[in-house]
Amino acid sequence: MSEICRIALTSGEPAGIGPDLCIQLAQQAQRHQIIVIADPELLQQRADELGLPIKLIEFDPDSAPKPVEAGCIVYLESKLAETVVAGKLNPANSAYVINTLQLALNGCLDGTFDAVVTAPVHKGVINDAQVPFSGHTEFFADGAGVNKVVMMLATPELRVALATTHLPLRDVSDAITQQSLLKIMHILAQSLQQGFGLKHPRIAVCGLNPHAGEGGHLGTEEQTVIEPVIKLIREQGYEFNGPWPADTIFVKSRLADYDAVLAMYHDQGLPVLKHQGFGDAVNITLGLPFIRTSVDHGTALDLAGSGKASATSLQAAINMAETMSLTRRTP
């Protein structure tokens, strides 16, 4: 088996910074084969606007994977409906965005690609075009026939997974059940084993309430849901500990004892991680039958075509996808 990975890179919202980032990345040699899924005319147009040289090479799935030289983009074509103006959304191109994701999904499922990395999309303009779309995660989960995935963000120093994601705070408690939490813990532990090479991952679990419920005086979810599930999964051989008060588990000395933290809701875990490593953080979807990573930022329409966007997070997402791909190959 080749030691060179094939990573699909969807270029995101065409009016945003996704195409810019693809072109900026291409100025440096890539050690694995990155296949940008985009309209080549868009890539050339944006390269001209940025004043950066680019050589476009059409992807040949029958050839052996090889590193990409500096100044080159290997592309898989998806055609735009209309010409793009940087920074200006156009619902007419929404189907194009969905098609880039579908091509990546198909390639991951049939083994053409080892992983997919996604540049940011704009959910609003896609739905304005009457195309139902709630996000990358749901698109890939539905396409792969998976009913439960877990969102985890990672920096070189910290990994934070979420028991719930984009919910109003008043709905969080009802969404955390013993059944759902046990499934999330299984996905998290097995993903850390398979994608990160951790044979016995150590995972800290946050409580839901202040002071992890203070023995039931500040809420009972710890006693009725979280603690029983931790007990059950520990009996199954997985090392989960908690529930910890969220205001103490993120202390550096405590984190040194764990490979990941499972937070109960979005704004319990992610502010700490983004404060610690914004720009280097990678969004990882756990529980899919393939690897999917993403940037930790949005489309930044105001920066599109300006040359001011940073490709740091996208390069980090690619590096993470490559590392996880090689780890999965290791017996």
Q: Is the pLDDT of residue 116 over 90?
A: yes
Type and span of the H or E element at 105: helix 94-109
CA–CA distances in Å: residue 168 to residues 123, 137, 243, 262:
18, 18, 22, 19
Token code pair at residue 302: 């105001």
For the stretch 193-230, pLDDT in tens is 999 999 999 999 999 999 998 999 999 999 999 999 99
pLDDT at 69 over 60: yes
Check if the beta carbon of residue 304 is closer than 8 Å to that of residue 86.
yes
Question: CA–CA separation, 285 vs 272, rounded Å?
Answer: 19
- Residue at token pair 């304005």: 128
Q: Model pTM?
A: 0.92
Q: Output the pLDDT for position 1.
A: 52
What value does the mean pLDDT take over residues 298-323? 94
Spatial contact of 143 and 105, defined as CB atoms under 8 Å apart: yes
pLDDT of amino acid 132: 83
pLDDT at 206: 98
Whether the CB-CB separation of 282 and 108 falls below 8 Å is answered with no
Q: Is 148-285 the same fold as 1-146+288-331?
A: yes
CATH number for the region 148-285 comes to 3.40.718.10
Query: Quick one: 1-146+288-331 is in which CATH superfamily?
Result: Isopropylmalate Dehydrogenase (3.40.718.10)
What residues does each domain of the chain span? 1-146+288-331, 148-285
Token output for 121: 């999309």
pLDDT in the model for residue 331: 66
